Structure formats: structure tokens, C-alpha cells
Structure 1
Amino acid sequence: MENVRTRGGTVVTNPFDDESGRFVALVNDEGQYSLWPAHIEVPGGWRADGPEGSRQECLDVIERAWTDMRPAGLVRASGADAG
């Protein structure tokens, strides 16, 4: 969490919930997505999927791209079972 100073004192906010923040949509090798604050280093195993944008712009990217919530390994295994 990061501290944000307000006129009334210090308020602790979660950067993931900052409606006015800048974000990126991340994706991992399993095709799972995450909304990530742009000012925080991307964790290992994840990569940006699209440009930096507003919270809503990045959520829209995730909604369009992440149509199957199952990890890619499970999707592949399910396809192998069917064939």
C-alpha cells in the first residue's frame, strides 16, 4: 500500500483501487490476466498486454481478452481429452 497525504492527515489507500491511477493489463503464460498499477514493477512471470491506460481502459482490455477463465494448461488438457 502507499500512503496518500490529504488535508485532514494521512490516508492509506490501495493503489489497485485508485480510480485516477494509471494501470497496465498483465498476462501470464497460463493466459490469466491481472490489473496492475503502472508505477509498480511487473512481477516475474507476467508481461504487459497492451499500453498503459486508465483503470477502466485496462479493465476493458482484460474483459475482451480473458474470455476463458481456465488456465491455458487446463484448456490444453481438456482439448487432448476430447481428441
Structure 2
Amino acid sequence: MEEEEEEEEEDQTIYTVTVNYEGQYSIWPVDRELPLGWESVGKQGYKQECLEYIKGIWTDMRPPSL
């Protein structure tokens, strides 16, 4: 666990929060092209910041197609 925390502290990558057509959220490095089917929601920041943002807005993880 401690090793994982150290990796998180060293990660200086800036991410963008993304969403797909099913309303599922993820993060993606801003310096890489988004995969097909995903679009940015406009929120960028460090990994933990983006994950906290997703946690606050994505309360129902079931895809609408269910």
C-alpha cells in the first residue's frame, strides 16, 4: 500500500475527466488523444482531483442501456 501511495504522490500527470455515450466516466491524460467514443467534460487536474470530481457527479454507475 505504501508503494502505491508513493506512486500517486509522484504522478504529476494532468488528466481530463471523460464520459462516453453510456454516461460512464473515466480519466485520461490531457496530452493523449481521447479514445473513440469518449469526450472531455471540461474538468482537468491531477488524478486524485479528477477522481474526486467523478465521485461527486457519477452517483449511479448503471449504464442507461440497462
Q: Normalising by structure 2, report the TM-score.
A: 0.75
Runs of at least 4 residues of structure 1 off by over 6 A? Answer: none
Consecutive unaligned residues in structure 2, runs of 5 or more: 1-7
- Cα displacement string for residues 44-81 of structure 1 (whole angstroms, at most 9, x for unaligned residues): 1111112321111211111111111111111xxxxxxx
Q: How many corresponding residue pairs?
A: 58
1:43 aligns with 2:56: no
RMSD in angstroms over aligned alpha carbons?
1.6
Aligned to 2:17: 25
Q: Which amino acid is the alignment partner of residue 19 of structure 1?
A: D
- Which ranges of structure 1 fall in alignment gaps of 5 or more residues? 1-16, 75-83
In the alignment, what sits opposite 2:51? Answer: 59
- Select the structure with the greater relative contact order (CA < 8 A; seq sep ≥ 6): 2
**2:25 is the counterpart of 1:69:** no
- Specify the code of the residue in structure 1 equivalent to 2:59: T
CA separation in 2, counterparts of 1:48 and 1:72?
19
Give the aligned partner of residue 3 of structure 2.
Answer: none
Query: How many angstroms does 1:19 deviate by?
Result: 2.2
